[in-house]
Amino acid sequence: MHTRTNGGFILEQFLIALLILCAVLPVFLSQLQTIANLYVRPADLQDAIAITQLRHIFNIAQNITPSGSTLSFQFRGEEKILRISGENLILTPGTQYVLTNIEEVSFASEENTVILCWKRNEEESCAALGVLE
């Protein structure tokens, strides 16, 4: 003789667990999406970081000379050149990538300020780098 007194209790536990899962799952997935977005760095953010780093360099640079698609200056007693190579703006000697996946770059001086302009995906952007002495 077997009695089936616990049969409905397991079903109740399953339904309660399913209800809790349904309530918690959307919150978990939204937080997972937020975390995933933190690891994606859009090009605008990378460009802003690169421009900030260049501004720090130009704060102590000397003899800054913009000329078309290159910019030469002295940094800590060493002659440096900022130029485009392939699709990247690099700082030489050595090879420090500053901006990547760009089509063209130009340097100009307007009212004693060095201006960097670059083109990526048919969109042109410009930023002031520093003041000429």
| pLDDT values of the chain reduced to their tens digit, one per residue, 133 residues | 555 555 456 788 888 999 999 999 998 888 888 887 776 567 778 888 889 998 998 888 888 888 888 989 998 889 999 988 888 888 888 778 888 888 889 888 888 888 899 988 888 888 888 887 6
102 touches 88 (CB < 8 A): yes
User: What percentage of the chain's residues is helix, strand, coil (to nearest 5)?
Assistant: 40, 40, 20
Structural domain for 47, as ranges: 43-131
**Cα 86 off chain centre by:** 20
Judgement on whether residues 65 and 26 belong to the same structural domain of the protein: no
Q: Looking at the structure, tell me whether residues 118 and 73 fall in a common domain.
A: yes
Pair 18, 82 in one domain: no
Domain count, the chain: 2
Question: Residues 66, 105: one domain?
Answer: yes
Residue 8 is predicted with a pLDDT of 55
Pair 36, 83 in one domain: no
Q: Determine the pLDDT at residue 1.
A: 56
Same domain, 6 and 27: yes
Sheet holding 78-85, edge to edge: 62-67, 70-75, 78-85, 88-92, 96-99
pLDDT at 22: 92
| Token output for 132 | 């000429």
Residues 63 and 109 in one domain: yes
Residues 55 and 76 in one domain: yes
* Integer Cα distance of 81 and 67 in angstroms: 11
| pLDDT value, residue 18 | 92
Amino acid at 4: R
